Amino acid sequence: MVVTLIIACEVAFWLLLAGGLSLRYLLRMPRAGAALLLLEPVLELVLLVVTAMDLRDGATADWKHGLAAVYIGFSVGLGHSTLKWADQRFAHRFAGGPPPVKPPKYGPERTRHEWRTAGRWILSAVVAMALLQAAVWYVGSAGDTSSLRMWQTRMLWVIGINVAIAGSYTLWPRRAPDA
């Protein structure tokens, strides 16, 4: 049931995003579009409540519960930037807005961009780890939480990889090609 709900939340995310942007730009109803986009966090709240209820009702904590926590964490950390990304492209394509801003290619601007991106991923992983830890405490010593701990380890890898990527741009910044 949890996996089905995760899939439903992901589909609903994209439907709400498309619907909100369509209302905003195609139908010229910016308030209605914003209201629809503000429903996005409700999806994560529903997923959190259903996952907690599943654990409370005696389900064994397994990879599905960990995936739900990771999904919520990534929605928190990356959701806003995803909305902004889609909004720029939708406004450009359907409402005559300016072209989407491209990330810088070289120099310190590129390094800052990489650290901002890493920060979003790190926030996602930290939120997921906190939710996973809350689930471990919720299950307590009576249940097997090894699957939840495994997800926490994966989130540490996400953090490490993003720090390594951003750090590489700090140590070896990309330079513009010589003319």
Alpha-carbon 28 to chain mean position: 28
Residue-level pLDDT at 32: 95
How far is residue 131's CA from residue 52's CA, in Å, rounded to a whole number? 10
CA atoms within 13 A on the CB side of 30: 3
Q: In a structure prediction context, what are the per-residue pLDDT tens digits for the chain, which is 179 residues long?
A: 888 999 999 999 999 999 999 999 999 999 999 999 999 999 999 999 999 998 888 888 899 999 999 999 999 999 999 999 999 999 999 999 999 999 999 999 999 999 999 999 999 999 999 999 999 999 888 788 999 999 999 999 999 999 999 999 999 998 888 86
How far is residue 122's CA from residue 89's CA, in Å, rounded to a whole number? 25
Instruction: Indicate the domain borders of the chain.
Output: 2-171
Residue-level pLDDT at 156: 98
User: What are the backbone angles phi and psi of residue 99, rounded to the nearest 5°?
Assistant: -60, 150
Compute, in degrees rounded to 10, the torsion defined by CA atoms 67, 73, 75, 79: -150
In this prediction the pTM is 0.91
